[in-house]
Amino acid sequence: MTDTATAAGLDPATLSDLLRVAGSPDFDRLTEQIRRTGGCTAPIRLTGGTKLLDPATKTVLHAYTTDAEPGGVLRVACGNRRASRCPACAWTYAGDTYHLIRAGLVGAPDKGTPDTIRDHPRVFATLTAPSFGPVHNRPGARPCRCGKRHQEDAPELGAPLDPE
């Protein structure tokens, strides 16, 4: 296996891990979770459970726990809008934004929007919430305001310099 891994440009330990995961009994559920995240590069790993109770009788109508999930976690997409953090989620967000704006501009005849709406001028205003101050960034030739020169994939990029 070492010669095959080296020839393919893979670390033997990585190939061993890949084969272990692919051969595990919960591999199908793991691939389903990955597919449902849309290829998210940093999925959120949820642990725990929920119960839906009938309010009158307190009978359990539905129960779920992550105990039976691969690794004991349920993976969900991070939803980050920055392509530098998660290209898959940023792409999904951009597509959702496009369709939301388009639907607002052309109206939705099946939802009862009259055709006369299309004849009126439109404005798409973006309102920005108050800022939380300076953030870690990559200003080019100068270092960031924190004094460091951050790499392109540094996890602190975009985070506040002073979280308080």
- Coil vs helix vs strand at 106: helix
Task: Give 32-74 as a DSSP string.
Answer: HHHHHTTS-SS-EEE--EEEEE-TTT--EEEEEEGGGSGGG-E
Q: What is the span of the domain harbouring residue 158? A: 128-164
66 part of a folded domain: yes
Cα distances (Å, whole numbers) of residue 164 to 9, 132, 134, 156, 160: 45, 9, 12, 15, 9
Residue written as tokens 């939705």?
Answer: 108
138 part of a folded domain: yes
103 part of a folded domain: no
Average pLDDT on 124-128 reads: 77
Rounded to whole angstroms, the Cα distance separating 157 from 137 reads 5
User: To the nearest whole number, what is the mean pLDDT of the chain?
Assistant: 82
69 part of a folded domain: yes
pLDDT tens-digit map of 32-44: 888 889 889 889 9
The count of domains in the chain is 2
160 part of a folded domain: yes
Beta bridge partners of 52: 62
102 part of a folded domain: no
143 part of a folded domain: yes
83 part of a folded domain: no
pLDDT tens-digit map of 72-125: 889 999 988 888 889 999 998 888 888 887 777 776 666 666 667 666 667 777
Last residue of a domain, one of 76, 96, 116: 76
Cα distances (Å, whole numbers) of residue 78 to 13, 43, 138, 164: 28, 5, 23, 24
- Closest by CA position to 152, among listed 138, 132, 163: 138
Residue written as tokens 């994939």?
Answer: 153
Global confidence as pTM: 0.50
pLDDT of residue 152: 83
Contact (CB, 8 A) for 46 and 6: no
Last residue of a domain, one of 11, 46, 76: 76
Give the model's confidence band at 23: pLDDT under 50 very low, under 70 low, under 90 confident, else very high: confident
